[in-house]
Structure 1
């Protein structure tokens, strides 16, 4: 791994060869454990000679002492300066480099991979010069589990008293939003309690409760919203009002 000083010298070396402002700035969304493709394409040239080509991928947001992600130098992969976090997790499309496709595959994505990455392409005429820059911001998300909606076990409360429903969700990222709704008329319901905590692995867990009167005509929904993925996970509970006969609370669950 590069030290802070050697990493800085590496960046200065690249700049000495011709740093320019990134010509592209894209955002990629990937989920934990998946493979992300960081796009870098230079279509202006039909054919590159690989031994006259350099491709550098590095972290561009200054958030790490070591910034080297992947290096292709004059026809060869050279990962001697690669940050330990990226070891054995990066791939170029070797068969597409000569066609100007310098995109990078990042395997087994984790939360610590959230960075802005820079692709720097150099071509040798007499000397190497920068011909292309592209910045790609990787945003990481997780929506690995379904919300769990549970009702009290055992006997229902007396007539006129309320039932407490619980909605729990774990391993979400970024911090999710939670909503309770009455699906009978799509009105919002105010939670009795709400707790959101960030776990040791960086993901979020949500714990919320809702107090309602048992009623066979109501469907209650707990919705977990992941804004980054633009995805909602919904679990419905239809309260069956058979407590008047059996004295037992029953909640019929449906996932959407």
Structure 2
């Protein structure tokens, strides 16, 4: 697995004791068809590195080699380490060990993410996009009809696989399919080496879009209602003005009613009525 450590086994089982001063031990890889030494042991019992790529990443144990164990320990595996490693042990100009170990490298893909671009009910075709990244080796991509778990026609999909700066694979797959009621498709990313299938249903993406649409609709309605609804303080002031207006009208009506029922006061008549009459006396 990328980032982990691994031991490449190389054993000599017919003997139990070796004099390292009599041995040459090489671990080699092929670079452009030319053997290149990863690490080695010379007859003076010193270990060196012939490739800077493996400096501080490749190690052999002197104590174990004395017992016939020439295994190589590799640290922090990268995709570039996927190749054949040749273990070669020479004593007295004779090859006593010549073994090839094939190293396969793998990395888990991220869980696929399926997205659905905006569309309208009038659209006859839906477009789904599936993305996954940081996996190794190169993946296989399948689109599945989740109704009956059948594979969809490869002609409906277009997949792009690319290497990222870490040397791992990223994949983007686009599916274009005719719209049908209650559509549910799944995107499957297969890592053949790990016998691993990662599948995500499109229903999750569709449900997320529906929720987002409802939320946006409700938000817009709330904003519209807020724009047409006066604030609480404004409604309270308006109520007070209406009450005062009604009271003023009631007072005016009462005044007019009372005025109609009370007679007018005649100041002149009143003065005459209040003046005492003088008694007339006849004088003979």
Same fold (TM over 0.5): yes
Q: For residues 183-202 of structure 1, what are the structure 2 equivalents within 5 Å? A: 183-190=146-153, 192-201=156-165, 202=167
Give, in whole Å, the separation in 1 of the partners of 2:19 and 2:99: 20
Give a deviation string over 1:203-256, Cα, whole Å, max 9, x none: 33222222353644x54221111223322222223369889x98949xxxxxxx
User: Quick check: 1:220 aligned with 2:182?
Assistant: no
Give the alignment partner of residue 168 of structure 1, picking from 110, 123, 131.
131
Matched length: 210
Report how far residue 103 of structure 1 moved: 1.1
Report how far residue 146 of structure 1 moved: 2.0
Give a deviation string over 1:145-167, Cα, whole Å, max 9, x none: 222112235xx621674432210
Q: Which runs of 5+ in 2 are unaligned?
A: 215-284
Residue 80 of structure 2 corresponds to which residue in structure 1? 112
Q: 1:193 to 1:219 in 2, by over 3 A?
A: closer
Residue 177 of structure 1 corresponds to which residue in structure 2? 140
Q: TM-score, normalised by structure 1?
A: 0.69
Give a deviation string over 1:107-165, Cα, whole Å, max 9, x none: 12223223221111123xxx353211101122333334222112235xx6216744322
Q: For residues 99-178 of structure 1, what are the structure 2 equivalents within 5 Å? A: 99-123=67-91, 127-152=92-117, 157-158=120-121, 161-178=124-141
Residue 7 of structure 2 corresponds to which residue in structure 1? 37
Give, in whole Å, the separation in 1 of the partners of 2:129 and 2:67: 55
Q: Which runs of 5+ in 1 are unaligned?
A: 1-30, 250-256
Report how far residue 200 of structure 1 moved: 4.9
More RCO (CA 8 Å, sep 6+): 1
Range with greater deviation from structure 2 (42-51 or 174-183): 42-51
Does the CA contact (< 8 Å) of 1:143 and 1:173 recur in 2? yes
Give, in whole Å, the separation in 1 of the partners of 2:18 and 2:153: 61
Residue 73 of structure 1 corresponds to which residue in structure 2? 42
Which structure dedicates a bigger proportion of its chain to helix? Answer: 2
Range with greater deviation from structure 2 (49-58 or 206-215): 206-215
Q: TM-score, normalised by structure 2?
A: 0.63
Does the CA contact (< 8 Å) of 1:215 and 1:240 recur in 2? no
Report how far residue 198 of structure 1 moved: 2.3
Give, in whole Å, the separation in 2 of the partners of 1:40 and 1:227: 27
Which structure dedicates a bigger proportion of its chain to strand? Answer: 1
Q: 1:110 to 1:47 in 2, by over 3 A?
A: same
Does the CA contact (< 8 Å) of 1:172 and 1:203 recur in 2? yes
Considering only CA atoms, is the larger Rg found in Structure 1 or Structure 2? Answer: 2
Please give the root-mean-square deviation of Cα atoms over the aligned residues, in Å. 3.1
Report how far residue 86 of structure 1 moved: 1.0
Range with greater deviation from structure 2 (176-185 or 206-215): 206-215
1:109 is paired with a residue whose SS is coil
